[in-house]
Amino acid sequence: MENKRIIFSEALERVRHDILAMSSLVEEGLGKALSALQNNDKELAKTVREGDAVVNTMQLTIEDAAVILIATQQPVARDLREIFTILKITVNLERAGDHAVHLAKTAIKLSGKASFRAMGRLERMVKTGQQMIRACISAYLKQDAEAARQAAAMDDIIDGEHKKLSEEMLRLMKKRPELLKKALRFLHTSGDLERMGDHITNICEAIIYMIESRHEELNE
């Protein structure tokens, strides 16, 4: 009779399901924060923090489950690599969630409408970040290293927008010093979203390690 390690496999499946749920919450938080920023909706911005508290709790719950699996099931080889990947996914998703909170804080602090062009760039960064999260978690669940590489490649879009937005804000600060504070806020927010892209790239690297057992530096 073939032994499929049912107890371990079922526990792992539950953890995978929790990771999908956690990633959906981070994605949702980013969407809400963007919407709050675009519509100057401070109430919506406040709900992002509440969602992030749930994300933080999920991180701990998933990590506890992973530690229990190591202690009780003694995984080795690919199973062990998956547990380490799970720990990397949760820590990086949690950081991505923090960036959604930073974006929401910007929405709360920003008075008046932001420039159309800057807002357009932030929107593209956030939406690309959401797509990256969806694509990398899908790559994890399908065990698809190539899909993880493709997900990480989207980070170029975020980096490109960040670079352009930074240049525009620097020009704006020189040209209109009275807008310095607002421009700085946009600059910080853009920097946050750029780092969020790096966190998702870290997840993609962990997925490749899990599948191929080698360390691959993406987006160097």
Partner 1 sequence: MISTEVLSGETLPPQEAAACGENPDLGRNKVDVKDLDFFYGDFQALKKINFSLARQEVSALIGPSGCGKSTFIRILNRMNDLIPSCRVRGSVLLDGEDIYGDMDVTELRTRVGMVFQKPNPFNMSIFDNVAYGKRMQGLRSRRKLEELVEKSLTRAALWGEVKDRLKKPALSLSGGQQQRLCIARSIAMEPEIILMDEPTSALDPIATGKIEELIGELKMDYSIILVTHAMHQAARVSGKTAFFLLGELIEYNDTKTLFTNPEDKRTEDYISGRFG
| Contact set with partner 1 (CB under 8 A) | 1-5, 8, 74-81, 213
CA distance 163 to 167: 6
**CB-side neighbour CA atoms (13 Å) of 151:** 29
For partner 1, which is the closer residue by CB, 3 or 111?
Answer: 3
Q: How far is the CB of 163 from partner 1 (least distance, A)?
A: 38
Q: How far is the CB of 75 from partner 1 (least distance, A)?
A: 7
Q: How far is the CB of 92 from partner 1 (least distance, A)?
A: 22
For partner 1, which is the closer residue by CB, 5 or 17?
Answer: 5
For partner 1, which is the closer residue by CB, 7 or 60?
Answer: 7
CA distance 30 to 107: 12
Instruction: Single out the residue of 78, 118, 99 nearest to residue 208, CA to CA.
Output: 78
Determine whether 88 is exposed, middle or buried from the number of CB atoms within 10 Å of its CB (0-12, 13-18, 19+): middle
Q: How far is the CB of 208 from partner 1 (least distance, A)?
A: 13
For partner 1, which is the closer residue by CB, 18 or 79?
Answer: 79
CB 203 within 8 A of CB 116: no
